[in-house]
Chains A and B, each alone.
Chain A
């Protein structure tokens, strides 16, 4: 509908009008979506300045200081803290176990497209190339589209409370993300060494082990480490749904209105995340160099 008023300038500046029509359309759509969303999300700033809300916020902030630093409480944090690290490491390890094979299957240049497959019969290419490729893509996309907390919640139902459901949840959700990014990295690998191997008669497995993976290894490892950094943040809150780690303590403190404990737990979490970022960042720095 906004095309009529822009018809005149269209004649003078052939390049710009479609962009400006698009701009107007975008602005209008933005305004409509914003108005609907504000209503749908029940946004009401008055709630924030109500006497109740201010009193609650005051209680929360006053309750946080001074942080709980009793020896007994600090001691009780040690176990969940260690558990958080273990969940993140194990979750990432399982994610690699899930993500690497699916990522390879989801790599088009390996499975059915490009120079490796020029002489493959089309039926064979469809059955052993396109079909597994498509299935792997569907699984990866399903794994990563369901948020890790939903996975965790479901695994708590399936295998009970504790760190194990957290590990499984991270493993599946991050497996989906790793697989997708792995396939993108592998797709971008320089094809010439692999074509040489192929021309020498190497099998598909040999191509992967000696050509594709070594070529992309620094990038693969670097992205996996980055995911580990994310996993430590995630595993800290998976406990909210009963999947172990320090999040379970945070949730408990919140429910018991022990805000001074929350401040301590957040401090511990901050140090933990910073430490993992530091370690992972140093290794990544050496890898890409």
Chain B
């Protein structure tokens, strides 16, 4: 610490110590509040209980009907994640355009022909509304969206698709809008100098630059969504989650292990597929 001060970074290092101390206090307070009981957990009784539970998980149930059921659940989970992610892209794209300042009212597109005061205000209003909408979609967690859609359209995988689509649209819309606002200005200026219309510039100047990033983000969210789709069923929205809920509730531990292995397989497959597509397409 003295050495650091001599080197002239004393202020930064004091700051670091304060931060570390603050975090230590935060952890201690949290351990108390969250009723963390490491002694009970790692004591002989706690460890014994856990060992007994793990013991009951083995061997996984690989009887034919169970494997068939797990496979069905896996397909359903895959379908929920796939259609949900696609729905998210479809919803996010128009919202992202409306949530980009450089498309609506500011920047190169509007340097030549300025907007009238009233129109500019209206466009800023549209921008704010789109941002607010994206924020709301994103703030509500996908599981709560699932509960809401189960309430609206009933049980099954379809509310899971809607929940993933709507929540992920909020996430992707924000990311897409950032990409749109960050595209390189040169091609846009070049198009403008040829007298292209605003729509023309958006279609031929902005979107082609943004498309690879859009695709990359969409694939990344698909990886997130396969995990989310696997738990949708905990609130009645289909897939492996529903079967896991049943297995845990009825103490069918060996079936539970089969289902968990199924999650492991489908998550790994989708991760690999996404990585392959990204490497191939980008």
A interface residues with partner B (beta carbon < 8 Å): 22, 26, 33-34, 36-44, 47-48, 50, 53, 56-57, 60, 82-83, 85-87, 89-90, 93, 141-142, 145-147, 149-150, 153-154, 157-159, 162-164, 166-168, 233, 236-237, 240-241, 244, 247, 250-251, 254, 262, 266, 269-270, 273, 283, 286
Contact = CB atoms under 8 A, between A and B. Distances in A.
A46 to B, nearest CB: 10
Contact of B268 (A56, A89, A145, A163): A145
A50 to B, nearest CB: 8
Classify chain B's interface size: 35 or more
Contact of B79 (A40, A157, A283): A40
Interface string B3-42: 0000000000001000100000011011101111100010
Nearest to B148: A60
Interface of B: 15, 19, 26-27, 29-31, 33-37, 41, 46, 49-50, 53, 75-76, 78-80, 82-84, 86, 135, 139-141, 143-144, 147-148, 151-154, 156-158, 160-162, 227-228, 230-231, 234-235, 238, 241, 244-245, 248, 256, 260, 263-264, 267-268, 277, 280
Given A163-B33, A233-B141, A266-B140, A42 B157 contact: yes
B34 A83 contact: yes
Given A40-B157, A145-B267, A147-B231, A86 B29 contact: yes
The 8 closest A-B pairs by CB, nearest first: A40-B79, A37-B79, A86-B30, A86-B33, A89-B30, A41-B79, A163-B34, A149-B231
Given A159-B41, A273-B139, A240 B158 contact: no
Contacts of A56: 151-152
Contact of B234 (A47, A159, A241): A241
A250 B145 CA distance: 12
B104 to A, nearest CB: 24
Given A41-B238, A60-B152, A237 B260 contact: no
9 contacts: A47-B153, A90-B36, A93-B27, A149-B234, A154-B248, A158-B53, A164-B37, A270-B135, A283-B19
A37 B260 CA distance: 21
A226 to B, nearest CB: 14
Contact of B144 (A83, A150, A157, A237): A237
A250 B49 contact: no
A142 B54 CA distance: 14
Given A34-B86, A266-B140, A53 B34 contact: no
Nearest to B157: A41
A87 B141 CA distance: 17
Most buried by A among B19, B41, B50, B141: B141
A147 B144 contact: no
Contact of B143 (A37, A57, A240): A240
Contacts of B227: 147
A174 to B, nearest CB: 13
A93 B30 contact: yes
B34 A269 contact: no
A254 B152 contact: no
Contacts of A157: 53, 248
B76 A41 contact: yes
B232 to A, nearest CB: 10
Contact of A90 (B31, B76, B151, B154): B31
Contacts of B263: 145-147, 150
B39 to A, nearest CB: 12
Given A90-B36, A147-B227, A38 B280 contact: no
B163 to A, nearest CB: 12
A3 to B, nearest CB: 17
Contacts of A47: 153-154, 158
B257 to A, nearest CB: 11
Given A37-B83, A40-B75, A53-B153, 13 more contacts: A42-B158, A42-B238, A56-B152, A83-B33, A145-B263, A146-B263, A147-B227, A154-B53, A164-B35, A168-B41, A240-B143, A250-B144, A266-B144
A176 to B, nearest CB: 12
A167 B34 contact: yes
A93 B28 CA distance: 10
Nearest to A19: B280
A41 B50 contact: no
Contact of B50 (A26, A142, A158, A164): A158
A150 B230 CA distance: 9
Given A56-B151, A157-B248, A269-B139, A43 B83 contact: yes
Contacts of A145: 263-264, 267-268
Nearest to A23: B281
